[in-house]
Amino acid sequence: MRVKICGITRPEQGMAIADLGATALGFILAPSSPRYVTPESIASIVTAISRPIHYIGVFVNEDPGEIRKTVTRAGLTGVQLHGEESPDFCARLRDLLPGIEILKALRVKDGETLERARGYFDRVDTLLFDAYHPSLHGGTGKTLDWESIARFSPPIPWFLAGGLTPDNLTDALTRLSPNGIDLSSGVERSPGDKDLEKVALLFDRLRQIRKSSVS
């Protein structure tokens, strides 16, 4: 399973989290977020990590030209679109960024969100389901109603996000079978400051889940 730890702001924490087993690090490029990092800071973190992992930039309603510049400057391998980007916007960006993974985040409010998700199936590489919040785009620590997506099975890979923690992970993965999980506030001390003990606990829990599923 892919494990993305998002909202990395400090090089030493990025390196430690990669060493603990994250398959992707996420960086917030929405200026209004307390986890915002510049493309230059991301580049210094990416070059310091020698592991073959993914580096995902999180954007909210950003201009495609700006996204392209940032991908190059920061050394990103993927782009997570966490705003109100349309399927056509995603398709255009995919054409603009060959070889870069395009993830579309959808904040699940009700059944209408899942209907809308269908429009992205052939426009993006990966979907990500996050919790809905009336005024914030992400990093809220809110969980979504897992039951509401339990019978939804997209034909493309998808991440579960939204308020995941080492403590609720087992429950989430008992109900759902995502291709990946994405955690931010559930493994931090304060916005942008990751708690490495919580990240280590997360990987312990994942190992336990794997063990119990094979025995």
Ligand X SMILES: O=C(O)c1ccccc1N[C@@H]1O[C@H](COP(=O)(O)O)[C@@H](O)[C@H]1O
State residue 194 phi and psi, 5-degree precision.
Answer: -75, 145
Binding of residue 178 to ligand X (CB under 6 A): no
**Region of residue 183 (phi > 0: left; psi between -120 and 50: alpha; otherwise: beta):** beta
Binding of residue 6 to ligand X (CB under 6 A): yes
Least Cα distance to 80 among 136, 129, 45, 44 occurs for 129
CB of 52 to ligand X, least distance (A): 21
Binding of residue 161 to ligand X (CB under 6 A): yes
Per-residue mark of binding to ligand X, 93-132 (x: CB under 6 A): ------------x----------------------x-x--
Do residues 133 and 161 lie in contact, with contact meaning Cβ atoms separated by under 8 Å? no
The CA distances from residue 16 to 13, 45, 103, 147, 173, in Å, are 5, 11, 25, 34, 25
- Tell me which residues in 41-80 interact with ligand X (CB under 6 A): 58, 60
For the four alpha carbons of 164, 59, 150 and 134, in that order, the dihedral sign comes to: positive
Distance separating alpha carbons of residues 201 and 150, to the nearest angstrom: 26
| Tally of CB atoms within 10 A around 181 | 21
The owner of tokens 């829990």 is 205
Indicate which residue of 6, 110, 125, 195 is catalytic: 6
Catalytic: 90?
no
Catalytic: 130?
yes
Choose the stretch contacting ligand X; rule: CB under 6 A; options: 30-38, 64-72, 144-152, 204-212.
30-38
State residue 157 phi and psi, 5-degree precision.
Answer: -60, 150
Binding of residue 82 to ligand X (CB under 6 A): yes
Choose the stretch contacting ligand X; rule: CB under 6 A; options: 23-31, 64-72, 119-127, 146-154.
23-31
Per-residue mark of binding to ligand X, 181-200 (x: CB under 6 A): -xxxxx--------------
Choose the stretch contacting ligand X; rule: CB under 6 A; options: 71-79, 89-97, 137-145, 171-179.
137-145
Return residues touching ligand X (CB under 6 A). Answer: 6-7, 26, 28, 30, 33, 35, 58, 60, 82, 105, 128, 130, 137-141, 161-164, 182-186
List active site positions: 6, 130
